[in-house]
Amino acid sequence: MPTPTLAPPRRGSGPKPVKPVAALVLAASFVSGVPALAQTDAPRRLTLDEVEAYQMSLELAFACSPARHRRADGSESTIRRAADALAGTAVHFHSVEGTYLVLEQYGEDLAGHCLVLGWFGGPLEPGSYEIGRLAMSAVEEEVETGEYSFFGMSAVRKPEENSLLVVERGTLQIATMESGNVSGSFELAGFLADGTGANRTGAATWAGTFRAVAASP
């Protein structure tokens, strides 16, 4: 893993719990009761660790933005799932909390999808990066060790599916970084949760590619 060259973030820092309207709409839609795709497991209660991962993953939803998506000319992304593939745009941006890669697509009614991968370390460069499960203990350990990984979540909202994916593990490959554009690929796995944050409804494994353009926070 590339070694960050900037000082690690302040202990306890992370994505702010402030979400634009689109992110709130996506998150609120999880409680509608529409079954999620890829439900391969019998529903069961989330463990305490999974509840923490679910709650912290929701905070990443602030990075989802239909307005930013509409300005992402020249970008592209594909998320390959077991049942289908999701095409969209891709942006990357940096804020005081960290660096974010966002793959998204929305319709006029805000139906669509948003995959957020967040990095709380130093500058990125081409190479291979691990993706881990987001938890306060994981963030604190990274601050202590200086070894960082990406964290992620995804929301899908469309007529036949409402789902939240809590990413638990995976790999992100950054192939090129040129003229503000970032291209690469990823593989990730995680669990699907219902809108109450109480039940695990399935598991999913995704892979994909992206060409992301630089955007403002």
pLDDT tens digit sequence for 51-100: 999 999 999 999 999 999 999 999 999 999 998 999 999 999 998 889 99
DSSP element (H, E) containing 136: helix 136-145
Helix, coil or strand: residue 29: helix
Bridge partners (DSSP) of residue 149 are: none
Which DSSP state fits 35? P
- Alpha-carbon gap, residue 53 to 153, rounded angstroms: 10
The structure's pTM equals 0.83
- Is it the case that residue 37 has pLDDT exceeding 50? no
Contacts of 48 (CB under 8 A, 6+ apart): none
Which of 105-114, 155-164, 168-177, 181-190 is predicted least confidently? 155-164
Q: What are 128-166's pLDDT values in tens digits?
A: 999 999 988 888 999 899 999 999 999 998 888 888 999
Cα separation of 102 and 104, whole Å? 6
pLDDT in tens, 180-214: 999 999 999 999 987 677 889 899 999 999 999 99
What is the C-alpha separation between 75 and 31, in angstroms, rounded? 31
pLDDT at residue 5 is higher than 60: no
Higher-confidence residue: 184 or 24?
184
Contact 173, 128 (CB under 8 A): yes
